[in-house]
């Protein structure tokens, strides 16, 4: 028995979630838009076949989508998050270890009985997920994360694989690695692939076989690790714990440019509240915050401004973080600029189990206990009744520039009001 790495992801995840709650759109073209209805970030296979590209601005394709009768949805992260949780729970039951890598993707491990292909095992898991969650998945199996990613790619690419591929059982991987373009290898991005191509390395096999010295000289450990994983040596371990995140970032584009500090401050407060709620959910504290704002990034006179401030005692308290962030916002704000985006980042996160207070600061501790209670009450009410049931008065966003979500589906899995009604005769 040897350990193998699995890489499992939901096919066209956001589009599949939308189709699952609204079966009437099945078989027809569908795209899902990013926040603010900006870009196309997911599409089903029908839309792909009709030539709709990923990542392109919605406004440029709006007419084409109408002509082709393709359904459009604003992104509904509450829905996708809920489906994701169900998926991960089911996967956890069926793997030995599980690392949740993103909303629609996980790495897992299982043991391989000596010499046995795991295709059938994958097929059974895929059927189980479809039956219980209603979402199609793909499964790649290999010796390392990089190889299991390639395996998943092949699972999707070769129709007859039906969404499952086990490259780990194959002795001579060359014919498969030859098919994988170098920029499709996990960890090789735009910059690295340009350099690799200049060295005449165009596919995964050539990357595996190139001089290690060369790649180390240019990209150090990072490059070396990718190459070693391609050779079958496990270098990037499975990380099961996911709660100890290192930073939390919340940012949004506005639907209209904002040029005054008052509106910007309201947005910042809103973002801090989202971020600090997350912080408390993960039982973490932060001791540094960055506030940033920028004008249109596609314009020649882009203006971007940011500042970071420290918080003397690590905290998860909304009020303290709001106060700090507002003073930072005031510092970096410039009049006569049309800001289209702002955000906050909480850094230096630590577990709240090891909290240290300043010495001789009893007054402060009492005040903080009070505000902590307030945070907890707000969190509880909002988690039961939906985000924004109760919130800080100053965070109410003016409707004019609140991000657009014009094509939002309902949240049929998490909100009682949206539960579908079925009439029986």
Partner DNA sequence: TCTGGGGTCCTAGGACCC
Footprint of DNA (CB under 7 A): 9, 34-36, 38-39, 41, 55, 57, 59, 101-105, 149, 185-193, 220-222, 239, 245-253, 274, 278, 288, 296-298, 308, 340-341, 343, 348, 403
C-beta neighbour count of 287 within 10 angstroms: 15
Closest to DNA by CB, 253 vs 317, is: 253
Distance (Å, whole) CA 20 – CA 421: 16
At closest approach, how far in Å is the CB of 122 from DNA? 19
At closest approach, how far in Å is the CB of 81 from DNA? 11
At closest approach, how far in Å is the CB of 33 from DNA? 8
- The number of CA neighbours under 13 Å toward the Cβ of 240 is 8
Closest to DNA by CB, 222 vs 387, is: 222
**Beta carbons of 383 and 280 less than 8 angstroms apart:** no
Closest to DNA by CB, 156 vs 348, is: 348
Return the exposure string of 63-93: e unless at least 16 CB atoms fall within 10 Å of the residue's CB, then b: eebeeeebbbbbbbeebbebbbeebbebbee
Altogether, the residues listed in the chain come to a count of 425
Closest to DNA by CB, 243 vs 425, is: 243
At closest approach, how far in Å is the CB of 49 from DNA? 22
* CA 185 to chain CA centroid, nearest Å: 19
Burial of residue 420 (CB within 10 Å: 0-12, 13-18, 19+) is exposed
Among 158, 155, 121, which Cα is nearest to 10's? 155
Distance (Å, whole) CA 57 – CA 190: 21
Closest to DNA by CB, 39 vs 397, is: 39
State the pairing for strand pair 164-166/137-142: parallel
Distance (Å, whole) CA 242 – CA 240: 6
Among 151, 204, 141, which Cα is nearest to 2's? 141
At closest approach, how far in Å is the CB of 314 from DNA? 13
**Beta carbons of 68 and 29 less than 8 angstroms apart:** yes
Closest to DNA by CB, 34 vs 151, is: 34
At closest approach, how far in Å is the CB of 35 from DNA? 3
**Beta carbons of 21 and 413 less than 8 angstroms apart:** yes
Consecutive H or E run containing 108: strand 105-112
At closest approach, how far in Å is the CB of 112 from DNA? 24
C-beta neighbour count of 297 within 10 angstroms: 11
Closest to DNA by CB, 112 vs 254, is: 254
At closest approach, how far in Å is the CB of 32 from DNA? 10
Closest to DNA by CB, 42 vs 320, is: 42
Closest to DNA by CB, 7 vs 265, is: 7
At closest approach, how far in Å is the CB of 58 from DNA? 7
């Amino acid at each position: 028995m040897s350990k193998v790495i699995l890489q499992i992801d939901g096919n066209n995840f956001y589009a599949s979630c939308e189709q699952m709650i609204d079966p009437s759109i099945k078989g027809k073209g569908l795209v899902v838009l990013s926040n603010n209805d900006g870009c196309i970030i997911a599409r089903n296979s029908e839309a792909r076949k009709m030539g709709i590209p990923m990542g392109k601005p919605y406004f440029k394709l709006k007419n084409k989508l109408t002509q082709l009768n393709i359904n459009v949805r604003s992104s509904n992260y509450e829905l996708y998050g809920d489906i994701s949780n169900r998926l991960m729970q089911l996967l956890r039951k069926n793997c030995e270890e599980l690392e949740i890598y993103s909303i629609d993707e996980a790495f897992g491990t299982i043991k391989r009985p000596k010499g046995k292909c795991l295709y059938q095992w994958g097929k059974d898991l895929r059927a189980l997920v479809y039956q219980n969650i209603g979402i199609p998945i793909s499964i790649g199996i290999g010796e390392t994360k990089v190889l299991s990613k390639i395996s998943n790619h092949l699972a999707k690419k070769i129709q007859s694989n039906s969404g499952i591929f086990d490259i780990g059982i194959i002795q001579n991987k060359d014919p498969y690695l030859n098919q994988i373009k170098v920029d499709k290898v996990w960890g090789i991005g735009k910059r690295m692939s340009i350099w690799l191509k200049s060295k005449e390395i165009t596919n995964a096999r050539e990357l595996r076989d190139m001089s290690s010295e060369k790649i180390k000289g240019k990209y150090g450990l990072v490059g070396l690790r990718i190459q070693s994983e391609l050779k079958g040596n496990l270098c990037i371990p499975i990380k099961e714990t996911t709660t100890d995140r290192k930073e939390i970032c919340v940012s949004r584009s506005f639907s209209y440019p904002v040029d005054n500090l008052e509106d910007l401050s309201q947005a910042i407060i809103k973002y801090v509240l989202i971020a600090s709620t997350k912080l408390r959910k993960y039982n973490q504290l932060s001791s540094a915050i960055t506030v940033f704002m920028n004008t249109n990034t596609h314009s020649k006179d882009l203006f971007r401004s940011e500042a970071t401030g420290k918080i003397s005692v690590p905290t998860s308290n909304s009020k303290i973080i709001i106060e700090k962030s507002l003073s930072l916002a005031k510092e970096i704000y410039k009049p006569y600029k049309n800001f289209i985006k702002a955000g906050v980042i909480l850094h230096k996160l630590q577990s709240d189990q090891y909290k240290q207070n300043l010495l001789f600061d009893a007054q402060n501790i009492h005040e903080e206990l009070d505000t902590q209670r307030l945070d907890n009450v707000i969190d509880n009410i909002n988690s039961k009744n939906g985000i924004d049931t109760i919130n800080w008065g100053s965070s109410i966003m003016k409707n004019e520039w609140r991000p657009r979500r014009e094509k939002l589906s309902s949240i049929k899995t998490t909100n009682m009001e949206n539960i579908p009604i079925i009439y029986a005769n």
